[in-house]
Structures are given as C-alpha cells and as structure tokens.
C-alpha cells in the first residue's frame, strides 16, 4: 500500500485528511459513529474569546451544488472549550487536534490563542481571519494584507505552536495576503474559506437566511479553491492546507498536486458523517490507480 503520511508544520500526520472547522463539532460527536483516530487530525469548531449564540435563524440555505450558511460562530467561548470540550475529546481522540480561532479584534485573537497554546492536546492554531474587525469599520481582517499580518504578528508573539492562517476567497489578490501572512511569521496557510452567497425565496420574496448573505460551500466551489491553492502554494514557502468542495479521494489527490500538504473536508461531512473515513479508506485504491507510492511526493506535482 502507498504511503499516506505527510508532515504538517513539523507534526507527522498518518494521512492528509482533516475535517474542516464547523463541520465536525468538537470531534467526540463523530466518535460515536466511528474511530476518529483514523483521521490525520481535525479542526474543531471555531472558537472565540467569549461565548457566542450566533446569528438568528434560519441559518442554512440549500443550493443545487452546495449550501449557504450563516451560523455566526456559535460556540461556548474558549474557557468552556478548554474546561469542558477538550477533556471530553481527550477520551476519544489521541492525536494533536487543530484549534480554529476567530476574533473581532487583534487583542481577542491573541488572548484566545494564548489560552489554547497552553493546551497539550492542541497541535496547531488555525487562525480564521475572515471575521469582521470591530475596530476597523467592520471590514474583515482577511481582505487586507496589513490587517491579516497584524493578527499573525500578535498571535505569534504569544504562542509557541504552529500558526496556520485561514484565508477568505472574497478578495482580489489572495496571493498578496498569503505572502503578507508568511512575512509576518505564519507557519502555514489554509484556504479557502467560504465564498459569499445568497438565495431568495420566490414565494416570500425575501432572502432564505435571516442574515441575507452567508458562506457558500460545497462541490460548486472546488475549481475556485483549487485555483487559489495552486496560486498560493507556488508563491509561499510554508505549507498550504487546501479545502473547498472536496468530496472524494480523487479531489484530495488533485488538491495535493496543486500544492496542498493536507486537505480539509467540510460540507461533505454535513451530507455524510462518514465522508472523511470513506475518503481515507479509498485513498490507497486511487493512489494505486494513478501509480502514486507516496502522497508526500506529489505535493506541488502538477505538470
């Protein structure tokens, strides 16, 4: 069988498959269905400094090739995650976990990351810079290279664990933002977060979700995600985690050829809770089909 392992920012993964934040809870929910230790790792639910109830309902809209969500980062806050969620996770998951962090000011990002940095279970900090900057007029940190870099510098100053910056695709030049994050000290880049989308109910003539617009994800965005992964991976010298519409083992291979060291799986988990396990189980077959002996060897292997 081919070699599935990869190295992500100095930590060895048994395979490159990572359930994406917001689609896998805090892991132990899925552990009731199968042994989640088969995963490379997973990115747990987006965590903020303070508890958040999230956006009003309805929060989800279905699309023909994906979905739109505006959950609004509902989570119990970092203290409860450390005190309640991580101990439960430790009972069922025996690998380093990826902590996904959100914030509404640079200070919030830094304080939340500093608390999670002290947790032995946390292997990486995935810093989501798609949040609105409350001190900067509400504009997302991730749409401005200077703002994104400021978050990275603040987080790197208070942490020792690898910092992976999760970028928004809703920008004109994602390469410039990725390079700014690298220059500020980021240890990795993950992309893409959701595209901005909307649906309208023809009967009520109102937006389907209460927030009007939300994050569009699913198989329809895969070509956009692949293009951005390719652009960023060939512009920076740090690992890239690819995501966006990944559904099968073939998609994983394609992402890695474009330059991804590891691959996150999001919406597919919401459709089929066994999606990641099925992809992992199928990777050896696809590797054999395409004469791949080691996944690590194909990263940035597109001709």
Q: pLDDT at position 132, please?
A: 62
Q: Residues 123, 161: contact at Cβ < 8 Å?
A: yes
> Do 193 and 46 meet the contact criterion of CB atoms below 8 Å apart?
no
Residue 139's pLDDT is 63
pLDDT of residue 140: 86
Distances (CA, A) of 265 to 74, 109, 199, 249: 20, 24, 23, 11
Residue 138: the pLDDT is: 53
Tokens of 292: 């791949």
Domains and their CATH numbers in the chain:
6-298 (3.20.20.70)
Q: Report how far residue 65's alpha carbon sits from residue 217's, in angstroms, rounded to the nearest whole number.
A: 9
* Residues lower than pLDDT 50 in the chain: none
Q: What's the confidence (pLDDT) of residue 133?
A: 56
Three-state DSSP state, 290: coil
pTM attached to this predicted model? 0.96
Judge whether 133 and 141 are in contact, CB under 8 Å: yes
State percent of the chain over pLDDT 90. Answer: 90
pLDDT value of residue 124? 98
With a CB cutoff of 8 Å and minimum separation 6, the contacts of 62 are none
- Can you list the pairs that 199-207 forms with residues at least 24 positions away whose Cβ atoms lie under 8 Å? 199/61, 199/63, 199/68
Structure confidence by residue, pLDDT tens digits, 97-131: 999 999 999 999 999 999 999 999 999 999 999 87
User: 231-259 b/e with 16+ CB inside 10 Å = b?
Assistant: bbbebbebbbbbbbbbbbbebbbbbbbbb
Q: Could you tell me if 30 and 23 are in contact, meaning their C-beta atoms sit under 8 angstroms apart?
A: no
Q: Which residues are catalytic?
A: 131
Considering Cα of 236, then 46, then 267, then 273, what sign does the dihedral take? positive
Helix (H) or strand (E) holding 114: helix 106-117
Q: What is the pLDDT of residue 64?
A: 87
Dihedral angle computed from the Cα positions of residues 227, 192, 278 and 41, in that order, rounded to the nearest 10 degrees? 130
pLDDT at position 18 is 98
Q: What is the pLDDT of residue 222?
A: 98
Longest Cα–Cα distance of the chain, Å, equals 55
């Amino acid at each position: 069988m081919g070699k599935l392992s990869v190295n992500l920012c100095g930590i060895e993964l048994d395979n490159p498959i990572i359930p994406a934040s917001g689609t896998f809870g805090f892991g132990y929910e899925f552990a009731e269905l199968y042994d989640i230790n088969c995963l490379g790792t997973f990115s747990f639910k987006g965590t903020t400094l303070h508890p958040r109830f999230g956006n009003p309902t309805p929060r989800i809209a279905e699309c023909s090739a994906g979905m739109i969500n505006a959950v609004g980062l509902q989570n119990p806050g970092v203290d409860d995650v450390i005190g309640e969620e991580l101990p439960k996770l430790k009972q069922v998951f025996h690998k380093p976990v990826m902590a996904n962090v959100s914030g509404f000011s640079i200070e919030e990002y830094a304080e939340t990351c500093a608390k999670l940095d002290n947790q032995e279970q946390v292997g990486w900090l995935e810093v989501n810079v798609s949040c609105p900057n409350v001190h900067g007029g509400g504009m997302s940190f991730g749409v401005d290279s200077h703002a994104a870099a400021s978050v990275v510098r603040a987080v790197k100053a208070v942490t020792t664990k690898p910092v992976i910056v999760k970028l928004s695709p809703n920008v004109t030049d994602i390469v410039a933002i990725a390079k700014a994050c690298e220059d500020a000290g980021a240890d990795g880049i993950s992309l893409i977060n959701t595209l901005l989308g909307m649906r309208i109910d023809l009967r009520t003539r109102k937006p389907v979700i209460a927030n009007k617009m939300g994050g569009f994800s699913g198989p329809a965005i895969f070509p956009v995600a692949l293009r951005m992964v390719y652009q960023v991976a060939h512009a920076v010298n740090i690992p890239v985690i690819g995501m966006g519409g990944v559904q099968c083992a073939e998609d994983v291979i394609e992402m890695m050829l474009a330059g991804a060291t590891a691959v996150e799986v999001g919406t597919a988990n919401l459709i089929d809770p066994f999606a990641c396990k099925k992809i992992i189980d199928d990777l050896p077959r696809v590797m054999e089909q395409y004469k791949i002996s080691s996944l690590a060897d194909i990263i940035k292997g597109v001709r």
